[in-house]
Amino acid sequence: MNLRYCLPLAFAAAAAFAQAAEKPEDATARAALQQLVPQVKIDAIEAAPLPGYRQAIVGSQVVYVSDDGKYMLQGTLYDVQSKHDLTSSRLAVDHKRKVDAVPESKRVVFAPAKPKYKVAVFTDLDCGYCRKLHSQIAEYNKLGIEVDYLFFPRTGLNSPSYDKAVSVWCAKDRNAAFTAAKAGKAPTPAKCDNPVAEEYKLGAQVGVDGTPSVFAPDGTRIGGYLSPTEMLAKLENLGTATLAGN
């Protein structure tokens, strides 16, 4: 038996079975979205908090499709009684799953000895506010905040900013090269296996449209640049879900 041919067939069969097992309303919503945008990539379809609608995760947004497939809504869905943003909460779950999939070995980490909070920051080595944030890294750490950096060169892949990020990643002392680059020193050109491209693509998937973009461990995007005290207040307000290790 040739596994090279059997495995792709098995995966295709599993995917077909999963789609066949969808509820009729899910299948109708999927068909409606694909009718509007044939090449759309749908991450998930499920019941929406809004009666009579399904919600679909499409990239970094949620869209709502009526169970009969006739109507689609885009926007923010609020629970009036609790004044809760249901759309952002659902996206945070998806963002957490995607960001958590990046192992520590693919992050540039600046952490205190015993972190209380942890954030993931999509960063560009050249952006002004990114540099301002990193210039205060000791203050974030002093407040118990671990900062895990992910690369997001704003000018895109195979650009000077991308090359600079790769060189920093490939440096012998990665954290020192990162700090030097944030201070305006050009890194020594270097190439090696690196996560820069995949982190850039991840940023696009979770809606990063500028840098820095700061995500709490629960997947909530808590801001762009935040001073150390502002970041601490944001994390405290989010509650125990932001504690390091959660």
Q: Show which residues are catalytic.
A: 124, 127, 130, 154
Strand partners, 37: none
Q: Which residue has the tokens 């301002």?
A: 132
The strand ranges marked E within 30-69 are 44-47, 53-58, 61-66
CB 231 within 8 A of CB 145: yes
Q: What is d(CA 228, CA 150) in angstroms, rounded to the nearest whole number?
A: 19
* CA 222-173-180 angle, 5° bins: 60
Q: Please name the helix (run of DSSP H) or strand (run of DSSP E) that holds residue 201, with its range, or none.
A: helix 196-205
What's the CA gap between 210 and 224, in Å, rounded?
8
Structural element, H or E, at residue 35: helix 24-36
The amino acid present at 81, given as its one-letter code, is: Q
Pairwise CA distance, residues 235 & 123, whole Å: 19
Q: What would the two tokens of residue 105 be?
A: 């070995």
Q: What interhelical angle do 128-135 and 174-182 show, nearest 10?
A: 120
